Amino acid sequence: MSKLTLDRMLQSQGFGARKYCRALIEDGEVSIGGEVVTDYRAQIETDGLQFTLFDEVWTYREHLYIVLNKPANFECSRKPSHHPGVLTLLPEQFMWREVQPVGRLDHDTTGMLLMSDDGAFIHAQSSPKRHVPKLYVASTHEAVTPALIEQLLAGVQLHDEPAPLAAVSCRAIDDHRLEIVLEQGKYHQVKRMLAAAGNHCAALRRTAIGQLRLDSLDLEEGEWCYLEMEQLALLA
């Protein structure tokens, strides 16, 4: 069982500094169980807590685990330089909670992007030692041939890598699309592997991480959802 004062609880959820949260509470903006609470010092049980703020119901979450269906032309950075950042697609209070992407997708790459404010989770998911498979669909300029598939499965040599990198699996979807699974997570890996194999990546979409598939989440591009424990378990 975990308790916090109401102002600290609101602050922990990203609704602003404690002074601002106290003002919200004293102005009658917060209700719990249908009752307005105006005492910011009230001790609140956080386990399973739901509260209403600005006429919207929120669930208390110690940490945020989010999946975003990333559109093209958004940067995976808290300080984007050339395009909008992916955080602009999330509620504003998530910025206060220092949510950040788990790894990165290029600005023109779309699909499944994990985001969290849990540093241990971010580190674990980003570690190359875990060998979590990631599934991508790549569109190619030149035709997808059996020889291309064979090269990607056998391994191709990239300029800055000591040994060839190989796909875990790879198959043609049609004449100009292939599905490829990687575990290494190297910089621009799919694009560079295709180039090393004599083709060129025209578009790239990540569709799964571990056993969690993006199409199981029913998200349009630009939409996001919370990941619950059973979904987090699929990332292992």
Q: So which residues are the catalytic ones?
A: 106
Instruction: Tell me if 102 sits within 8 A of 125, measured CB to CB.
Output: yes
Q: Is the dihedral of CA 11, 17, 18, 19 positive or negative?
A: negative
Q: Are 85 and 56 in contact (CB under 8 A)?
A: no
Q: How far is CA 212 from the centre of its chain?
A: 12
Core vs surface per residue 15-41: b (16+ CB within 10 A) or e: bbeeeebbebbeeebbebeeeebeebe
User: For the chain, how far is it from start to end, CA to CA, in angstroms?
Assistant: 27
